[in-house]
Structure 1
Amino acid sequence: MTDPARSALMSRVKGKNTRPELIVRQELHALGGRFRLHRKDLPGCPDIVMPARKLALFVHGCFWHRHQNCRMASIPKTRREFWNQKFGNNVARDQRNVSELERLGWRVEVIWECRTRKRKELSASLRILLASSPRRDPSLPPFTVVKR
């Protein structure tokens, strides 16, 4: 792939409201989870934030955020030095954001793009995540699972 062609391809990559993110949001909502999106006042602007549970979720693309041992985390054949530096910077930034959120008292979870392809497994994982992150305000109603 030539540099202009690769540049055109990469410019179409979205940062918000990606397909994996929409899938996670649909599953969370179906389970009765309520959330806010892209809170800019938090480090890293998490994709999904559940303030009542003090839970921040990042939905990471396997390619851009280097999901270890994932076939989707390939390295382009051209300009390997550039890509290795870019991916290294992405991973370092992700680690800083997670550390800062945890320092502020948030629980942080990463949901990988490849995990969103199996909806039943994703739903089961999210159900466990919600059950293990109770609401912080006892005056709010408890978590309930909505069966589909």
Structure 2
Amino acid sequence: MTLPTTRKDLMIVNMGPHHPSMHGVLRLIVTLDGEDVIDCEPILGYLHRGMEKIAENRTIIQYLPYVTRWDYLATMFTEAITVNGPEQLGNIQVPKRASYIRVIMLELSRIASHLLWLGPFMADIGAQTPFFYFQRKRISI
């Protein structure tokens, strides 16, 4: 959406990219007219590591350590989708016990991921103490 400008001297602000260990890996090129945002161009892909090329010469077992880096906060999900695809394509029957263990591990990973989001969020809004409580709960998972 483009808004009509009131001045001719627009300001272009680069926001990011941030280090991958920070909250996100995104770059925004924002065009401002005073305090009004005229344009915003998001640039994604700063976490891309060429995983597809790496996977070409590896077996699924050799490739699993790489997929944990796709989402470094909830690694069980990327491993689950990586093994789920070949299992479905190859008509491989997973034992019931393994399916139950997967669901339990995915749920624990989801809870830990949410706690890892909630702790720094609380710290960002000025509540430092809950950050430590959430980290303690996450470690116990």
**TM-score normalised to structure 2 length:** 0.29
Structure with greater Cα Rg: 2
Q: Which has the higher contact order (CA 8 A, sep 6+)?
A: 1
